[in-house]
């Protein structure tokens, strides 16, 4: 949990800087500053065959912002379980949620040691009324995630469970579904599932996924749009359903993007009845 987080990422073992990590490559595409040369090289290799990746990363952050605003605002959710957090960047989940309702509680989950090292940055920016915490866990271990999240979140009240750019790191699709289902089984009625992942939209993105895996990053498994829809089985899909992220309740364009572009990245939100 957060209290154990090491404070200074510079003190992490040097080996971590020799192999690219998905969190740091993602940070590079997002325009952040928390990556090493090895991550930049991996990111550039992917971008060479799939230049939309930079737009995809930035549009995905806008999707996160719009979805969390919808959840905390219109839908009145006060608890968030963000699994596969990534490195802190601008407008993280707790900042977006707590700007709308300062009492929001947010639990972040990731298995990357450098994300863990940055957890204090996330925690420092939380509101006085709200609470933000961090669980060091692998998505393949939902029991641990649930047990640790229960220390912070009230499972008798609605929780927004978020898997953004995350379930593609679970190689087996049935396992990815069962992880999402396991977590949703435990949360109260009126909870929500928010999922976003890139889809298998052609040769370019498949080649990019191959190059990504060859660079040494954990492989990312492209799914079909229909498969993303399967994550919401038994839930009531919130309009407009599972759609390209730029079409999900489009709003003001933020974070330096100038226009919406279709990349294959899809997202959706479902409510547990």
Using CB under 6 A, list all residues that contact ligand SAM: 22-23, 26, 60-61, 64, 84-86, 110-112, 115, 138-140, 164-166, 169, 218
DSSP state, 199?
A: B
Nearer to ligand SAM, 86 or 270 (CB): 86
- We find the least distance from the C-beta atom of residue 194 to ligand SAM, in angstroms, to be 10
- Determine the Cα–Cα distance for residues 162 and 96; give it in Å rounded to an integer: 14
- Helix spans in the chain (H): 22-30, 37-49, 53-72, 93-100, 113-117, 119-124, 142-149, 173-186, 203-214, 225-230
- We find the least distance from the C-beta atom of residue 30 to ligand SAM, in angstroms, to be 7
Q: What is the 3-state secondary structure (H, E, C) of 130-149?
A: CEEEEEECCCCCHHHHHHHH
- We find the least distance from the C-beta atom of residue 164 to ligand SAM, in angstroms, to be 3
Nearer to ligand SAM, 46 or 139 (CB): 139
Nearer to ligand SAM, 61 or 105 (CB): 61
- We find the least distance from the C-beta atom of residue 229 to ligand SAM, in angstroms, to be 19
Nearer to ligand SAM, 17 or 157 (CB): 17
Closest residue to ligand SAM, based on beta-carbon distance? 86
CB atoms within 10 A of CB 18: 11
């Amino acid at each position: 949990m957060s209290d154990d987080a090491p404070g200074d990422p510079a003190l992490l073992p040097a080996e971590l800087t020799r192999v690219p990590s998905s969190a740091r490559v993602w940070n590079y595409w997002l325009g952040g500053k928390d990556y090493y040369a090895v991550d930049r090289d991996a990111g550039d290799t992917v971008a060479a065959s799939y230049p939309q990746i930079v737009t995809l990363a930035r549009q995905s952050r806008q999707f996160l912002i719009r979805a969390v605003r919808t959840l905390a605002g219109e839908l009145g959710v006060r608890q968030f379980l963000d699994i596969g957090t990534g490195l802190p960047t601008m407008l993280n989940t707790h900042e977006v949620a707590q700007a709308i309702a300062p009492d929001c509680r947010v639990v972040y989950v990731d298995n990357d040691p450098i994300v863990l090292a940055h957890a204090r940055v996330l925690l420092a920016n939380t509101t006085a009324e709200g609470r933000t915490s961090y669980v060091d866990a692998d998505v393949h271990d939902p029991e641990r995630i649930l047990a640790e999240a229960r220390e912070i979140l009230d499972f008798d009240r609605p929780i927004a469970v978020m898997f953004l750019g995350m379930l593609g790191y679970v190689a087996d699709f049935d396992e990815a579904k069962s992880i999402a289902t396991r977590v949703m089984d435990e949360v109260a009625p009126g909870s929500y599932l928010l999922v976003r992942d890139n889809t298998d939209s052609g040769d370019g993105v498949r080649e990019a996924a191959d190059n990504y895996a060859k660079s040494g990053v954990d492989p990312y498994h492209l799914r079909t749009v229909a498969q993303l829809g399967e994550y919401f089985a038994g839930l009531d899909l919130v309009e407009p359903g599972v759609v390209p992220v730029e079409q999900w309740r489009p709003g003001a364009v933020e974070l330096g993007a100038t226009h919406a572009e279709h990349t294959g990245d899809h997202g959706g939100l479902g409510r547990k009845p």
